[in-house]
Chain A
Amino acid sequence: MTNNNKTPEKKELKPKKVGIIRWGALIPLVIFITLTGLYLNFLFAGHLRWILATGATQANQAEVNIADLSLNFKEAKYRFNDIQITDPKKPTHNRLQIESIEGEFSWDALLRMRVKINHAAINGITTDTPRKTPGELVIESVTQKVVGKDSAIGEELREAKKAGLSTVASQQEGNVLENVAAILGGSDPSEQLNNIKGELAIVKRSEEIKQRIKSQKKRWEQVQEKVGGPKFVEKTKARINRLAKTKVKKIQDAAAAIKELKSIKKEVKEKVGTAKTEIKQIKQEISELKQLSRGLSKLADKDIEQLEKRLNIPKIDTGSMAQGIFENYLRAKLGPYAKYLDMGKEYLPAKKSTEKSAKSSSSNKSSSFTPQARAKGHNYSFGKQGSYPRIWLQQGVISGHQQADNGVSKVKGNITDLSSNQALLGRPTKIKIDGQYPVNDQIFSKSKSVTFGLKKARGSLLLAGTISGGLLDFTIKNTFKKSQYNIQSNSRDLEAILKESVTGLRTIQVNGTIKGPIAKPKIKLRSNLSNALESGIKRGVNKRIAAAKAKVKAMVDGVLKGERGALDNLINKSGNGSLKKLNGKAAKILNLRKSADRKISDLKGAQKKKAKDKVKAQAKKKGKKLLKKFKKLW
């Protein structure tokens, strides 16, 4: 026991003295860093290439090969060589083959937690190139390998192509040439016009006016009654005659007759007054009806316009002809690039609002200070003018070429200063795409009645412009040289017109602009082809349009003339008849008044004479009495 207790004391070891630094951890740390460095230098590129190729194969559903990937960490460079993307519907061919993709980052920016790509290039893009060995398909890799042109896949591909073509065709339908064909190939509108005659606004309005004339006519008849019927004139005349025959034995007899005649005169005067007022009223009403009748002419213009629409008589807007013919074509050509713009939209600055611009203008001098909401916390930006934006592609280059049976295709593109913050960079994004390509069976306008396009030509496209504040400002120059046209129409006239229009026009130039927001840019185009078509079509088509319009006008004018004539007849017959009748009645009544006046005058004369005679008789009597008295005196 004692021994046991002593033994540990003897053998007791002092604990190791340890310092503040953990030297033991430094060596593993150094080894770890060295191994990581060696891995990144020698193995990482190979592994990354395998990961990318495998991931891309899964995404593409067909084999994707990357021949080589080299990374240079010191200079922050990368380069992919010979990328082949198998077409899953045609595994013997690549849907896309790229000679190389290379880029160089800026270490200076990376150290500042920014991404600046000094230079990026996608070189030698070709499509539909044959593969050395057919690519493996992801779905069929277990059960089936590569199939040739006559396989189900080939059939599917052909169907897909057909579907694609029909989509393009449907997009190009209904443009300006279809309108031209509609005129030249259209049927005679006369028959249609006759069928819709009853629907004309003139006819409808004329019916309304006729109804109004009928109701007016009723009123006018009532007015005749109001002024006095034929019995009134006869009765009054008889009364006047009866009074005129009054034997004036006494003065009082004449006075009574005069009184009655005066009352007749008053009555007659009232009737005359009513007649005059009604005549005035009727005249006004007739004038209004005539005005309504004349108003039909205005409706005629509307009728012509409506009929032209109904008969599809188009207005040939030759100014928009280039737009109509080439817009769909250019949209289809530029569509694939729009996809990349959409992808880059995240990094492109949005259209500035007034509030933002005010803010930035005040802060740009020293620093921009913009908090951005995030899931956790807010990111503050302390950038100043000229400093690196979050992401900046200083220069990107794209190039491709393809040799096909129908000629060589070349494309060369350049993009500069694509950044996440243009205000910080102080430069807009510039894009330039320059390409030459063969044109074979390119249809610009296809419809049931007309096909217009190019059989063969040598095309070139130059697109250049800037993107600033989310707005596009581009110019397009599209040229087709050595053009051979493909013009077909079921209207011989149209075919002749179109062929004649383009005779001698071997080089087509389509120039224009693309402006506005990235999502909805406005394309404006002008072309020498449209000018040539304009003059040709104007000559041929305008004649047809004018003839069709003249037919419509003649028809409407005819209807108008007929309706107006009928209305005028009705107005004259009803209105003027009533007026004549009323005037005659008024004249007769007026005669009664005159007759009454005469009778009154006669009676007054008789009354006067009677009074004179009476005075004379009295004087005679008094004279006789005086003579008798005088004789007595003598």
Chain B
Amino acid sequence: MTLILKQIFGLLKVLNSDTGSNQIASGIAFGLILGFIPALSLQTVFTFVLILIFRVQLGAVLISAFFFAFPAYLFDHTFNQLGSYILEMEGLRSLFTTLYAMPIIPYTRMFNSLVMGATAMAFMLFPLVFVIFRFLIIKYREKVVAKIKDTKLFKMLQATALYKWYHKYDQIYG
């Protein structure tokens, strides 16, 4: 729980700093994948590994996965239909037959219509979500954060000893 809270506070901090817009946007996009894909499968494990290896904002991943799980639940029927459509495509039949017989690949569970539909939808939306959220974060920083920093209240807060101490601590330990 502490780790999760730490990540969420980290998200708020990075969101309000000048850097890390890519980290947050990619975290939200990865969260979309985790939120959409229903079962534990190879692609979710692979996504986890990517999240751990690359410097993706984990708080953004967790919050995004949590929030995207709700629309995913509502869109289950659509995912199922999309998955069935893809799996029943005559042109892809031989490809699926080959993949189904290959090692490791069946662990993606993409022979399941729901997993296939959700995975396809998540990967299609991944770049779009990344671009949109990156744009929104930059705009947020420009419009909202800059305005807040310009307020007297914030300047007063910056002048306090506590803030200075925190600022120094943050610079040293990140």
Contacts and interface: CB of A to CB of B under 8 A. Distances in A.
B101 A384 contact: yes
A382 B54 contact: no
B93 A111 contact: no
Main secondary structure, interface of A, reads loop
Contact of A20 (B54, B80, B94, B168): B54
B112 interface: yes
Nearest to B174: A16
A379 B107 CA distance: 13
A556 to B, nearest CB: 75
A426 interface: no
A108 B112 contact: no
Interface string B86-102: 01100001101101111
A20 B55 contact: yes
Interface in B92-131: 93-94, 96-97, 99-104, 106-107, 111-115, 117
B38 interface: yes
Contacts of A366: 93-94, 97
Given A376-B38, A377-B113, A380-B87, A367 B53 contact: no
A22 B58 CA distance: 11
Contacts of B76: 376
B84 interface: yes
Given A112-B106, A378-B84, A383-B100, A15 B115 contact: no
B111 A26 contact: no
A22 B27 CA distance: 14
A6 to B, nearest CB: 13
Interface in A89-113: 108, 111-113
Given A367-B97, A382-B93, A21 B113 contact: no
Interface in B39-68: 39, 52-56
B101 A19 contact: no
A29 interface: yes
Contact of B97 (A12, A16, A18, A382): A382
A377 B100 contact: no
Contacts of B117: 377
Contacts of A369: 93
B83 interface: yes
Nearest to B101: A387
B149 interface: no
Nearest to A386: B101
A374 interface: yes
Nearest to A374: B112
Nearest to B79: A377
Contacts of B84: 371, 378
Interface string A24-36: 0110010000000
Contacts of A12: 171
A13 interface: yes
Q: How large is the interface on B (under 10, 10 to 19, 20 to 34, 35 or more residues)?
A: 35 or more
Interface in A209-241: none
Contacts of B106: 112-114
Main secondary structure, interface of B, reads helix
A381 interface: yes
Contacts of A114: 106
B147 interface: no
Nearest to B52: A25
A26 B171 contact: no
B164 A8 contact: yes
B172 interface: yes
Contacts of A376: 38-39, 76, 80, 112, 114
Given A8-B168, A22-B52, A382 B96 contact: yes
A379 B112 contact: yes
A377 B114 contact: yes
B119 to A, nearest CB: 11
B21 to A, nearest CB: 14
B52 A29 contact: yes
A205 to B, nearest CB: 74
A380 B97 contact: no
A379 B79 CA distance: 14
A25 B53 contact: yes
A36 to B, nearest CB: 14
B171 to A, nearest CB: 5
A369 B96 CA distance: 11
Nearest to A378: B113
Contacts of A18: 55
B103 A22 contact: no
A376 B172 CA distance: 50
Contacts of A25: 52-53
Interface in B148-172: 164, 167-168, 171-172
Contacts of A111: 103-104
B103 A108 contact: yes
Nearest to A16: B174
Nearest to B111: A380
Contact of B113 (A8, A11, A380): A380
Interface string A347-383: 0000000000000000000110101001011111111
A387 B102 CA distance: 10
B14 to A, nearest CB: 11
Contact of B111 (A8, A19, A21, A381): A381
Contact of A22 (B55, B83, B96, B168): B55
Contact of A13 (B83, B104, B112, B172): B172
A19 B55 contact: yes
Given A8-B164, A13-B171, A377 B55 contact: no
Contacts of A108: 103
Nearest to B49: A29
A31 to B, nearest CB: 13
A8 B112 CA distance: 59
B114 A22 contact: no
A517 to B, nearest CB: 30
Nearest to A375: B114
Contacts of B115: 377
Closest 3 CB pairs of A and B: A377-B114, A113-B106, A111-B103
Given A12-B171, A108-B103, A112-B106, 5 more contacts: A22-B54, A25-B53, A376-B76, A376-B80, A379-B113
Interface of B: 38-39, 52-56, 76, 79-80, 83-84, 87-88, 93-94, 96-97, 99-104, 106-107, 111-115, 117, 164, 167-168, 171-172, 174
20 contacts: A12-B171, A19-B55, A21-B55, A25-B52, A25-B53, A29-B52, A113-B107, A366-B94, A374-B112, A376-B112, A377-B38, A377-B112, A378-B80, A380-B96, A380-B113, A381-B100, A382-B99, A382-B101, A383-B97, A387-B101
